[in-house]
Amino acid sequence: MISFTRQKDFLVGIDSDGCAFDTMELKHKECFIPNIIYYYNLQGVSKYAREVAEFVNLYSKSRGINRFPALIETLERLRRRPEVKARQVQIRVPESLKEWIKKEKKLGNPALEEAVNATGDADLKQALEWSRAVNRTVEWMVKGVPPFPYVRESLQRLCQVADIVVVSATPEEALKREWAEHGLDQYVRAILGQESGTKKDFLALGSQYPSGHTLMVGDAPGDQKAAEANSALFFPINPGKEEQSWEEFYKRGIDHFINGSFSGEYQAQLIAEFDRALPANPPWVEEPDV
């Protein structure tokens, strides 16, 4: 990332899971959530743990956030559910992990391993074991998931005029494996994941380009916030309507971006629809922590 220099007239950042690839549901439902239930002893309320984790990671405005803040939000929301309290299952939120998240910029396993080695903290060690288990399960489970229709076609058009960068909160090993599996890595300049920083950091590369020449393509509110923090444009891939979003991007969005007509009415309409796609509050009742 430090050695990245501009080669084309435009910069495009593209998220991976749930945006370029239809892997979000597979990874969370088959890899993340079973390991949350096992490592955090949630077997007694597994039904509700699954429901909460799916809401946080897939069906709410928290969609797409880093795994460690998502884990904390899942445990906190689960602890507030009256059904869980009625079963007298104790949900413990690892406070030292919360503190590490506040201080650490690169929320990945390497930084967490350093913290574990430095402190010997049991909560951090548990989170590291969980995260490693997730990665092993993802490597075992996630194969043969192609990009959404119009992703490849969009990359082929864009790479002629734009430097394309994969911008993700996923570990870089998984990103490189998945992009190479489908031959999409040939179209991108860099693949940047959680070990290298945040999406906000990555889009700061846009400072090398003229105003209005940086675009973020993503499926989560965090992608939009990262774009806005860098005065970049944002094209949303709407959850549940990914195929339609990519077709719109390929047929109209790319042209708007390149000819300078993206900002204003066109982008506002896209963002308004995206904002309606994900709720902030869950459909169940939550009680205050005691």
pLDDT band at 76 (very low <50, low <70, confident <90, very high): very high
Strands of 190-192's sheet, edge to edge?
190-192, 162-167, 10-14, 214-218, 233-236
pLDDT digits (tens, 9 = 90+) for 16-42: 999 999 999 999 999 999 999 999 999
| Boundaries of domain holding 37 | 24-141
pLDDT value at residue 220: 94
Domain end (from 96, 126, 141): 141
Examine residue 127 and state whether it is found in any structural domain, yes or no.
yes
pLDDT band at 290 (very low <50, low <70, confident <90, very high): low
Are 14 and 29 within one domain? no
pLDDT value at residue 196: 87
Are 154 and 254 within one domain? yes
Are 88 and 194 within one domain? no
Examine residue 1 and state whether it is found in any structural domain, yes or no.
no
pLDDT band at 1 (very low <50, low <70, confident <90, very high): low
Examine residue 268 and state whether it is found in any structural domain, yes or no.
yes
Are 56 and 199 within one domain? no
pLDDT value at residue 198: 87
pLDDT digits (tens, 9 = 90+) for 106-164: 999 999 999 999 999 999 999 999 999 999 999 999 999 999 999 999 999 999 999 99
Are 50 and 81 within one domain? yes
Examine residue 75 and state whether it is found in any structural domain, yes or no.
yes
Domain end (from 141, 161, 181): 141
Are 169 and 190 within one domain? yes
pLDDT digits (tens, 9 = 90+) for 206-245: 999 999 999 999 999 999 999 999 999 999 999 999 999 9
Q: Under 8 Å CB-to-CB from 122, ≥6 apart: which residues?
A: none
pLDDT value at residue 8: 97
- Amino acid residing at 263: S
Nearest residue to 23 via CA among 179, 256, 129, 248: 179
Nearest residue to 226 via CA among 185, 197, 260, 266: 197
Examine residue 252 and state whether it is found in any structural domain, yes or no.
yes
Are 242 and 206 within one domain? yes
Separate counts of helices (H) and strands (E) for the chain: 15, 5
CATH of the domain at 227: 3.40.50.1000
Q: Calculate helix-pair angle for 122-141, 95-103, nearest 10 degrees.
A: 80
pLDDT value at residue 239: 95
Examine residue 288 and state whether it is found in any structural domain, yes or no.
no
Are 129 and 169 within one domain? no
Are 68 and 112 within one domain? yes
Are 39 and 86 within one domain? yes
**Could you count the other beta carbons within 10 Å of the beta carbon of residue 61?**
17
Q: Determine the straight-line distance between the first and last CA of the chain, rounded to whole angstroms.
A: 45
Q: What is the mean pLDDT of the chain?
A: 95
Examine residue 287 and state whether it is found in any structural domain, yes or no.
no
Is residue 61 within 8 Å of residue 279, measured between CB atoms? Answer: yes
Helices (H), the chain: 24-27, 33-39, 46-57, 67-79, 82-86, 95-103, 109-119, 122-141, 151-158, 172-181, 199-203, 221-229, 242-248, 254-259, 265-277
pLDDT value at residue 3: 81
Q: How far is it, in rounded angstroms, from Cα 235 to Cα 135?
A: 29
Are 257 and 238 within one domain? yes
pLDDT value at residue 182: 95
| Tally of domains in the chain | 2
Domain end (from 112, 141, 170): 141
Are 88 and 178 within one domain? no
pLDDT value at residue 261: 97
